[in-house]
């Protein structure tokens, strides 16, 4: 079972019958007698404004073609099923400084690190072409063209667009 935060706006309209010597006194008396309990003589309307779980992240929608830095890292990680922890991910080392089978946090940045972005480009068969002064174009026969100042940024935008579409909801913590 989860805990939910539900925001509701309720409007209650009542007509109260009060005895008073003046209009001002009638208003004051009505306010003092007013309750939100239903007695059958009121109009009651309510709207649910928002429902979220306590762990719901705040997000902002961004165009995939404009993703860079931490936002692009997060979007690629989401497509790959990788959970980031302060911009890093757990990697199982087979050969390395740690003994086989131990996990370590490794910075995740496939849009600048060819050892991370290259395998995605190869696996997804993303084509890259120089675009003169404009930078790079990335595409394949299924994906729309994506542009970027570097081949990795263009390719990762292409990858994200193919999996998540033209816009992506990026958690606030990954917006720079």
Q: Which tens digits make up the pLDDT trace of 76-130?
A: 999 988 877 665 565 544 444 444 445 556 778 899 999 999 999 999 999 999 9
- At residue 137, the pLDDT reads 93
One domain for residues 155 and 136: yes
pTM of the model: 0.61
CATH number at residue 105: 3.30.2120.10
One domain for residues 72 and 114: yes
Q: What is the three-class DSSP state of 134?
A: helix
One domain for residues 23 and 72: no
The secondary element (H helix, E strand) that includes residue 23 is helix 23-33
One domain for residues 46 and 73: no
Q: How many domains does the chain contain in total?
A: 2
Give me the domain span that covers residue 47.
Answer: 4-53
One domain for residues 47 and 69: no
CA distance linking residue 151 with residue 134, whole number of Å: 11
**CA-wise closest residue to 157 among 130, 126, 125, 133:** 126
């Amino acid at each position: 079972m989860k805990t939910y935060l539900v925001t509701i706006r309720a409007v209650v309209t009542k007509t109260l019958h009060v005895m008073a010597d003046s209009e001002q006194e009638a208003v004051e008396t009505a306010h003092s007698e007013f309750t939100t309990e239903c007695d059958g003589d009121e109009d009651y309307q309510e709207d649910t404004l928002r429902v979220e779980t306590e762990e719901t992240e705040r997000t902002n929608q961004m165009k995939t073609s404009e993703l860079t830095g931490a936002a692009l890292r997060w979007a690629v990680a989401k497509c790959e099923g990788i959970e980031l922890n302060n911009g890093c991910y757990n990697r199982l080392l087979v050969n390395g400084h740690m003994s086989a089978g131990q996990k370590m946090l490794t910075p995740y940045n496939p849009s600048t690190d060819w050892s991370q972005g290259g395998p995605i480009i190869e696996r997804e068969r993303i084509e890259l072409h120089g675009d003169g002064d404009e930078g790079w174009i990335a595409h394949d026969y299924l994906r729309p063209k994506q542009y970027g100042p570097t081949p990795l940024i263009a390719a990762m935008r292409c990858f994200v667009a193919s999996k998540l579409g033209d816009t992506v909801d990026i958690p606030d913590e990954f917006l720079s």
